[in-house]
Structure 1
Amino acid sequence: NRFKAAISVQDYQLHTIFCVPISVDADTFGFLYLDNMDDNSRAMYLKQEIITLFIEQISIAIKNAMLYENLLQKSTELNTFEMLKDEFMAIVSHELNTPLTTLQSYVSRLKRNLYVDEDERKEILNKIENSVKKLIVTTGDINTMNTYNLKKSLSMAPVDISEILELVQQEVEILSRKRKMFIRLEIEKDLPQVMVNWEALHLMIYNLVLNAIRFTNDFGTVVIGARKAAFQQEKLNGKDSLVIYVQDNGIGIPEYQLKNVFRKFYELNEIYAHKSGTVEYRSSGLGLGLSTSKRIAELHKGNIWIKSKENEGTTVFVTLPLKP
């Protein structure tokens, strides 16, 4: 009676229906559906062995297609990683060879002429010191990335976020002074404390601001800000969060590169255009800064994303859970 009362049965004048799920590893992907509208033979006669074999063949075909798609995806990811690794090695080679070549040059100069005047001696020692500092920074970036990638958690303590932002502003103002840039703070009043690892969060914000400076023209503006979440997408699991942002009016990031900027070794500059430096325009390092920042945000159970428009500027947002 239930079968005859069904609307679809009445509308299509169905006499018999056969329906069986098509499953792969306990997941249902579809159904084999047969119906009979023949008034002369209302019953449906099926051979169970044939139907079972047919269903099994469909399931095998689906599983093979899934395995092939997964294999293809892994192959693409592996090729992409290999390409990024090769680019990374080229950048590391550049970052290490430049200061090492400088060191070798000035050491050879001293060996050829042991008796140099005071001014020349100071110049040589300054160049050597700068080259050593560059090597320390490069190896430090690699060690930092490895440190945070290996960590499963961080020790946390309540922190007033304005203290970190103000410190970063002071640090980068000194570095960006020669480029006549304006570093501005925008901190919402009466922000609650957040549970963070002070060292890790300071490193993340410092790196984000350095990136903003590098890809902003001389006399440009970089804004370091913090506020409570104002939009639903800024909340974490539907709960209020603290939003930290670094905004610049620089060259921006092409849309096709946005999905890759947080990947290890990814560098916005082309290899052939790679320039070393701390805050020089369009200079860059190893392509580890944003990847490390993403990992630090994850260790804080937070989120990080970028909004950017080419030739207009970039804003990096970081959301952190508020202290319970």
Structure 2
Amino acid sequence: MKRDVSVFHSTLVERVAETFGQAYFIYDVTGKHFRYLNRAFYTLFGIPEATTPDVLQLLGQLHEEDKVFLFEKYAKLLDTKTQEAVEFRVNAPYQETKWVCLNCQLLEEGQGVLLSGFAEDITVHKEYQANLLKFNSKKNATLEILSHDLAAPFTNIEGMVELLEGELLQGSGPSAMNLVQFIKDNAKKGSDLIRDFIDNEFLESSQIVLHKERVNICQRLQIMIENYQQMGESLLAKNFELVLPGEPVYMYLDVMKMMQVFNNLISNAIKFTYDQGTISVAIEDKGDSVLVAVTDDGIGIPDSLKPNLFDKFTSSRREGIKGEKSIGLGMSIIKKIVELHNGKVWFESTEDAGSTFYVEIPKE
């Protein structure tokens, strides 16, 4: 007796699908019903296996902030027929909010169209990334605070040693002068070492390979600013503000690298803003792109330094208000990362009246 090959293949595919933890499905786009769901699908979306879910039931589980996004991705899939992984949140019955990664593809069947693919629970992965970003942001804020908090005493030591050096020149022997020079040299080495450490930390975090994901940029920047507010106002003697739009703003970014961009812009603002000054970060949703502005009321940028500010090892580098040194790489790295995201960065500044740096990035 000849066996029906299509039945055999169908049974085999179903057996394979039940073996893995992903939620597999086949949806008849033309007939508007599911042809196949494995057990993991029912588990992922909290649906009793005895029932056959309809699309409206599943759409009702979508997180409110992700609905429009997912509808747009579905419309794009129907239009372009291209496969694309998307991440979104679901509120399954009697379960905590989950992050789901969906991979799917359109298949033509006669006069109809099938949508097949698999979904995977990535909640643990997203929580890990969020915690990693949180601690990375806190690390950056801590390093910047340490660099200022430790470099300032070294700068003061250098100044006091110079005064002492002048007095000793009038009546002391060479041994005292040698000791003074030793203290002076080591204070400078310590100060330079701290700045080099911060600069290298930034360089190592800014490799050019991008790993983009969909993120709420408002939430990410809020975490960063809160770290500066909680740890920095008393130590850095600066005020930090964040201006957010009324709704969350989602975009595709390499989060770690883009946070390095904003952290470096804030770091520069700290260096060139007097104590009790204000540093503000504002986010604007422009539809297809997002504009982030980092503003300070510091000393501004002289006109002579503006043309080469984004050059590598730029001649526009200068010491901060408290003597913080610069190797001239920070702004060039910022420009590189922004351009890798197909964005642009520019600034407006008036000497003695502060500066604003703008970063505009497409949402996708």
Length-normalised TM-score, structure 1: 0.49
Bigger Rg, structure 1 or 2: 1
Structure showing greater relative contact order (alpha-carbon pairs closer than 8 Å, 6 or more residues apart)? 1
Q: If each structure's helix is expressed as a fraction of its own residues, which one has the higher value?
A: 1
For normalisation by structure 2, the TM-score amounts to 0.44
